Structure 1
């Protein structure tokens, strides 16, 4: 009970004064209360002998163990014997034990074992007193004067007393354990609040302060220097609200928080995991997400957040696509200047867009041809058509736009226009993306 039992308010049916059991319980409590310091000494010694955690003196010092053990034992004896409480609420000691040991991070099983050790020693002292009383009666001394002697001769009664002691231990163990778990939940809540606050500080750019970066590192449980990316995911109703479980299943650490109608997360990467991350975001979460370039210091999280948000703004809303910032540089530039993006489309491909009958075939051929290094043969293989068909369509685009297909400037203009095209709607208005949702 040193972490021995505290207690609860006694019930009248527990400690009735009319029965032999109640009389014996009271007599045993009255006999042991004056010996509380000796009882405490024996319990502390027994716990130290059977628990390396307590014997080490850290985190529970001997003085701490003695104090809380004595308080538990005294309240347990008073409750067991139906005596008036000397310290108020019987359950206080058990609750205080649970609270203190949870804060000290002593395992609950270790505390429960200490309760059992304390109950064992308390019953040993009671049994010793019963044997001494019985011996005194057999020798003809004290009979009729010691209340214990009136009822102590019945072995069945003694067994009932032992059972009552263990019922007390079990009952108070439950009180202690409940307090322990509640304290753990409160501590976890405080830790979560601190973790969130420090993560927000990183995203706000305050990680340049070494103290903030160090505190965030400790709270998140990751190094100040490592390989990280920031991911910003749209809160799509069709996708899971938090990608963390999917990443965790694949051994990738991350921490996420709702932020401005989206989820922002920091992801710790091992070598070669960038591609794995994008694949998981695309195919396992369904989230539309932008991913920052890698950075190696937590202090850089604020800048990385801005880049991840820019990558997200290039993606159509609800597309379930994930894009790395470095893979969307042209789109980032275009979506940031919608009026320029619109002008590029108009000047580079406007005439093609006006040919409703040919438009889809010409645009798809142009896209594949550019992606194939402007090779008509490779493009034809991918489009399942003849090489001459590809050449004819590219020639038609050159005719409509007034540009030479051999010109590097023309090819650059067409490539930019194709990237800008998804960013505008059918009527030339900005298309719904995660950045432009009008």
Structure 2
């Protein structure tokens, strides 16, 4: 005959009768048994004894339900509350939501099983003293102990499974909420104090601190996001894919700006733009736009990292391609037209400008004679019709050199590209 759900199989033989008898005599005293179990758990667990997050009333209620189901199951008695394992599942769900460590809950189950067996053994001793058990009944007592712990172990497994499933469900809800609030910050809604406070709680960081936004291109050669690399160095960050790129907020300690740029350049392989620092989560939306502008100044798939404040000229130029094109044409167009000389002249001009217009220093870096540097600068002046001694001319040349890699399109051109 098939068993009905939630109804135990009949206990047969002497052991079944003894288990039924023990359960039947203990069920009427379930409240007293529950009190002993709660006292024992409080005596052996600081978490439960504190009353937070599990109150004594909560513990008493759930212990009573578990003990009653366990006794009915153990003794083969008809269930008074449906499925025997419902109490264990409810315990796992509730304790996971209360964030009580699973090991602590399992220990409480063991304490409950120990007390239940102690009370059961008291009944067995009283029965034996009254002559109700025979000489071989100590072996049966051992069998009873094994059956009790088998029941407790089964309920513990059910509880633990429910606990873990609840944790997964909670994590999914938390992840969804965290992403939604992060998106709210990026959309500029962090000016609402309620949104900023909720995002702070969801992300686990202060409303006010030192932050930067990073936008990284989704390069197949680079990892999905830089979080693991940054975490290795104790730098907190949170990343999400957004509009074909990864957007990340990074919390910085003092002196970590340079560390962040170095890690992005040398450890992640991602091409990334970094915003200026901001001190409140509400600034994430504006910082995101600045990081995106910094990213646009880098050649695609270059693996470089650019801080916005270090690329101000390039940001201005890439944002106004028609002006950038005109700057190149006016200040270096004639040089670009000299195909044979172009590479040598441009590289010399770049090094000369980067080193305070010192011919001697530029010669050292280019492994050539000082006069060679001067001759090349003179040749550029001749081609462009401008004096190398003019500060305004030098500024024009410097801007033109910065505009060259940016190209005229939406994506940065190769470093040797130019407007033509």
| Shorter-chain TM-score tier | over 0.9
Hey, what's the Cα distance between the residues in 1 that align with 2:233 and 2:46? 37
State the 1:103 CA deviation: 1.1
1:88 to 61, 82, 85: 82
**How many positions carry a matched residue from both structures?**
409
Hey, what's the Cα distance between the residues in 2 that align with 1:81 and 1:394? 100
2:18 to 24, 27, 48: 24
2:359 to 362, 376, 379: 376
State the 1:189 CA deviation: 1.6
Moved more, 45-54 or 361-370: 45-54
* Residue deviations 1:175-197 (CA, integer Å, cap 9, x gap): 11111111112112222222111
State the 1:42 CA deviation: 1.4
1:135 to 129, 153, 160: 129
Please list every run of 5 or more consecutive structure 1 residues that lacks an aligned counterpart in the other structure: 1-7, 138-142, 144-148
Hey, what's the Cα distance between the residues in 2 that align with 1:127 and 1:9? 27
* Residue deviations 1:308-361 (CA, integer Å, cap 9, x gap): 000001111100000000111111111111111111111111111111110100
Aligned to 1:220: 203
Hey, what's the Cα distance between the residues in 2 that align with 1:334 and 1:399? 26
* Residue deviations 1:77-115 (CA, integer Å, cap 9, x gap): 111111121111111000100111111111211111111
Hey, what's the Cα distance between the residues in 1 that align with 2:183 and 2:86? 39
2:289 is aligned with 1:302 = no
State the 1:199 CA deviation: 1.2
Hey, what's the Cα distance between the residues in 2 that align with 1:359 and 1:11? 91
Whether the 8 Å contact between 1:422 and 1:431 is mirrored in structure 2 is: no
2:412 is aligned with 1:433 = yes
Whether the 8 Å contact between 1:134 and 1:153 is mirrored in structure 2 is: no
1:105 to 90, 99, 105: 99
Whether the 8 Å contact between 1:9 and 1:79 is mirrored in structure 2 is: no
Q: Give runs of aligned pairs for residues 17-166 of structure 1, distance below 5 A.
A: 17=12, 19-137=13-131, 149=133, 153-166=136-149
2:83 is paired with a residue whose SS is coil
* Residue deviations 1:390-414 (CA, integer Å, cap 9, x gap): 0100111111111111111111111
Give the TM-score, by structure 2 length: 0.94
Give the TM-score, by structure 1 length: 0.90
Hey, what's the Cα distance between the residues in 1 that align with 2:152 and 2:135? 22
Hey, what's the Cα distance between the residues in 1 that align with 2:124 and 2:197? 61
Hey, what's the Cα distance between the residues in 1 that align with 2:352 and 2:227? 39
2:395 is aligned with 1:412 = yes
* Residue deviations 1:47-81 (CA, integer Å, cap 9, x gap): 12222222222211111111111110111011111
* Residue deviations 1:128-186 (CA, integer Å, cap 9, x gap): 1111111112xxxxx5xxxxx5x785211110110110111111111111111111121
CA RMSD across the alignment: 1.6
Moved more, 94-103 or 43-52: 43-52
Whether the 8 Å contact between 1:152 and 1:158 is mirrored in structure 2 is: no
Aligned to 1:191: 174
1:255 is paired with a residue whose SS is strand
Whether the 8 Å contact between 1:201 and 1:212 is mirrored in structure 2 is: yes
Hey, what's the Cα distance between the residues in 1 that align with 2:257 and 2:7? 63
2:339 is paired with a residue whose SS is coil
2:310 is aligned with 1:293 = no
Whether the 8 Å contact between 2:7 and 2:78 is mirrored in structure 1 is: no
2:130 is paired with a residue whose SS is helix
2:377 is aligned with 1:387 = no
Please list every run of 5 or more consecutive structure 2 residues that lacks an aligned counterpart in the other structure: 414-420
Hey, what's the Cα distance between the residues in 2 that align with 1:367 and 1:59? 66
Hey, what's the Cα distance between the residues in 2 that align with 1:217 and 1:128? 55
